[in-house]
Structure 1
Amino acid sequence: MLSKNNSIVLSKLKYREYDLIVKCYTQQRGVVSYLLKGVLKSKKGLSKTVYYQALSQLQIEESYKPNQTLHFIKEVKFSYIYKSLHTNIYKSSIVFFLAEILSNVLKEEEQNEGLYEFITVALQYLDNEDQFSNFHLLFLLKLTRYLGFQPENIDNNYTYFNLESGIFESSNNGIYSISGSNLTLLKRLLGINFDALNSIKINAIQRQEFLNMLLYYFELHLGSFKKPKSLQVLNEVFH
Structure 2
Amino acid sequence: MLQSLDVIVLSKLKYGDNDLIFKCYSKQKGLVSFFAKNILKRKKGNVRVSLFQPLGLLTIESSLRPNQNLHNVREVKINKVYHSLNTNIYKGAIAMFLSEVLTSTLKEEEPNAQLFEYLETSFQWLDHDNDFSNFHLLFLLNFTKYLGFYPKFSQHKLPYFNLSSGTFSDVKYDNYTINGKDLTVLYALKGTNFDTVKTIKLNSNQRHSFLSMLLLYFELHLGDFKQPKSLEVLNKVFS
Given that 1:219 and 1:225 are in contact with CA atoms closer than 8 Å, whether structure 2 keeps it comes out as: yes
- Could you state the TM-score of these two structures normalised by the residue count of structure 2? 0.97
Correspondence for 2:110: 110
Task: Return 76-85 or 149-158, whichever deviates more.
Answer: 149-158
Deviation at 1:170, TM superposition (A): 1.3
Correspondence for 2:180: 180
Find the aligned partners of 2:154 and 2:196 in 1 and give their Cα distance.
Answer: 19
Find the aligned partners of 2:130 and 2:32 in 1 and give their Cα distance.
Answer: 32
Find the aligned partners of 1:207 and 1:144 in 2 and give their Cα distance.
Answer: 18
Find the aligned partners of 1:179 and 1:57 in 2 and give their Cα distance.
Answer: 38
Find the aligned partners of 1:123 and 1:216 in 2 and give their Cα distance.
Answer: 23
Deviation at 1:188, TM superposition (A): 1.1
Q: For residues 68-97 of structure 1, give each alpha carbon's deviation from its aligned partner in whole angstroms, at most 9, with x where no partner exists.
A: 010012111111000000000000000000
Given that 2:141 and 2:150 are in contact with CA atoms closer than 8 Å, whether structure 1 keeps it comes out as: yes
The residue type paired with residue 82 of structure 1 is: Y
Correspondence for 2:74: 74
Find the aligned partners of 1:144 and 1:235 in 2 and give their Cα distance.
Answer: 21
Correspondence for 2:162: 162
Correspondence for 1:192: 192
Q: For residues 84-122 of structure 1, give each alpha carbon's deviation from its aligned partner in whole angstroms, at most 9, with x where no partner exists.
A: 000000000000000000001000000000100000000
RMSD: 1.2
Q: Describe the SS at the equivalent of 1:43.
A: coil
Deviation at 1:210, TM superposition (A): 0.2
Deviation at 1:145, TM superposition (A): 0.3
Find the aligned partners of 1:156 and 1:106 in 2 and give their Cα distance.
Answer: 33
Correspondence for 1:101: 101
Given that 1:160 and 1:179 are in contact with CA atoms closer than 8 Å, whether structure 2 keeps it comes out as: yes
Pair 129,48 (structure 1): closer, same or farther in 2 beyond 3 Å: same
Correspondence for 1:223: 223
Q: For residues 12-56 of structure 1, give each alpha carbon's deviation from its aligned partner in whole angstroms, at most 9, with x where no partner exists.
A: 111111111010000011111000011112332698111101100
Correspondence for 1:14: 14
% identical equivalent positions: 53
The residue type paired with residue 99 of structure 2 is: A
Correspondence for 1:210: 210
Given that 1:156 and 1:187 are in contact with CA atoms closer than 8 Å, whether structure 2 keeps it comes out as: no
Task: Return 141-150 or 151-160, whichever deviates more.
Answer: 151-160
Correspondence for 2:171: 171
The residue type paired with residue 231 of structure 2 is: L
Find the aligned partners of 1:137 and 1:218 in 2 and give their Cα distance.
Answer: 13
Query: 2:211 aligned with 1:237, yes or no?
Result: no
Pair 29,15 (structure 1): closer, same or farther in 2 beyond 3 Å: same
Find the aligned partners of 1:46 and 1:11 in 2 and give their Cα distance.
Answer: 19
What count of residue pairs does the alignment treat as equivalent?
A: 239
Q: For residues 165-221 of structure 1, give each alpha carbon's deviation from its aligned partner in whole angstroms, at most 9, with x where no partner exists.
A: 001111111211111111111011122111111111010000000000000000000
- Could you state the TM-score of these two structures normalised by the residue count of structure 1? 0.97
The residue type paired with residue 220 of structure 1 is: L
The residue type paired with residue 115 of structure 1 is: L
Given that 1:154 and 1:187 are in contact with CA atoms closer than 8 Å, whether structure 2 keeps it comes out as: no
Correspondence for 2:143: 143
Given that 1:38 and 1:45 are in contact with CA atoms closer than 8 Å, whether structure 2 keeps it comes out as: no
